[in-house]
Structure 1
Amino acid sequence: MTTLHNPKTWDISDSDNDGDAAQGDLKCTSRAKLALAPPRSDGYERPSPKTKRRSQEEMDADKEKARERKEARERRRAAKELEKEEKRKQQQKRKEAAEHLNSLKPENCLKCLTVCIDPALLQQEGSDILLGTLSSCEWRYSIEQQQLPNSITWTRDLPQQGEDGGATVEEDQVVQVLGATEFLDMVITVKKTIDSEGEDSALSRNAVKVVTLLVTESQPDYRRCGHETIQSKYGVENLDVDEVLVYLQLYKNMSVVFLDGWQEVTDHICMVTKSLSKRPLKLLTDKAELPFCVDGSWASGVRVEKDGSGLKQVWSKQIQQLNRVSPAVASCVTAAHKSPQLLLQAYQASGSEEDKKRLLADLVVKSEGKDRRIGPEISARVYRCFTTQNPELVLD
Structure 2
Amino acid sequence: FSGASSPISLDSDDELDGFGYKEPSDNLILPCEEPMQEEERNDNTEEGNTKQERMRLIKEGKAKMVEEKKRQREENKLMKEAIKAQKAEQKKYAKEKDEWESGKHALRSIVAEIDSTIIETGSVGGTLLTRFAEKGLKYRVQVNPIRGSILWKMEVPQIGQDPASVSEVPYILFVLQAEEFCDLINSGSFWDHVHLVQDRYPTFTVCFVTNKLMNYINKCERAQYRNAPNFNSWKRPPVEEVLCKLATHHVKVHSRQCADEAEVADHIVGLTSSLANCRFRKPLSWLSVHANGAVIPKNFIDKDLAKKDTWMKALIAIPKVQPRFALAIWKKYSTMRSLLKVYMDSTKTVREKELLLQDLKCEDRVGDESRRLGPVCSRRVYRTLMAEDGAVEADAAAE
CA RMSD of aligned residues (A): 5.9
* Helix, strand or coil at the partner of 2:203: coil
The CA distance in 2 between the partners of 1:342 and 1:171, in whole Å, is 39
Change (3 A) 1:98 1:375: closer
* Helix, strand or coil at the partner of 2:143: coil
Superposed, 1:1-396 pairs within 5 Å as: 23-24=25-26, 40=43, 89-101=86-98, 105-106=104-105, 109=108, 113-119=111-117, 121-125=119-123, 127-131=125-129, 141-160=139-158, 166=164, 168-188=166-186, 201-204=195-198, 206-218=201-213, 221=216, 233-234=234-235, 236-237=237-238, 240-247=241-248, 251=250, 253-276=252-275, 278-279=276-277, 283-284=279-280, 286=282, 299-300=308-309, 323-324=321-322, 325-329=325-329, 331=331, 348=348, 361=358, 365=362, 368-369=367-368, 371-381=370-380, 384=383, 390-391=388-389, 394=394, 395-396=397-398
Displacement of 1:95 in angstroms is 1.5
The CA distance in 2 between the partners of 1:333 and 1:105, in whole Å, is 31
The CA distance in 2 between the partners of 1:246 and 1:189, in whole Å, is 21
Unmatched segments (≥5 aa) in structure 2: 1-9, 16-22, 48-73, 226-230, 289-303
| Maintained 8 Å contact 1:122/1:128 | no
Change (3 A) 1:211 1:328: closer
The CA distance in 2 between the partners of 1:22 and 1:139, in whole Å, is 120
Residue identity matched to 1:216: N
The CA distance in 1 between the partners of 2:162 and 2:382, in whole Å, is 57
Q: Which moved more, 1:363-372 or 1:254-263?
A: 363-372
Residue identity matched to 1:159: P
* Helix, strand or coil at the partner of 1:175: strand
| Maintained 8 Å contact 1:219/1:225 | no
The CA distance in 2 between the partners of 1:88 and 1:124, in whole Å, is 55
The CA distance in 1 between the partners of 2:108 and 2:273, in whole Å, is 9
| Maintained 8 Å contact 2:93/2:160 | no
Aligned residues: 311
* Helix, strand or coil at the partner of 1:160: coil
Displacement of 1:272 in angstroms is 3.2
TM-score, normalization by structure 2 = 0.53
Based on CA coordinates, which of the two structures has the bigger radius of gyration? 2
Displacement of 1:255 in angstroms is 1.9
Percentage of matched positions with identical amino acids: 18
Change (3 A) 1:23 1:203: closer
| Maintained 8 Å contact 1:121/1:150 | no
Displacement of 1:173 in angstroms is 3.4
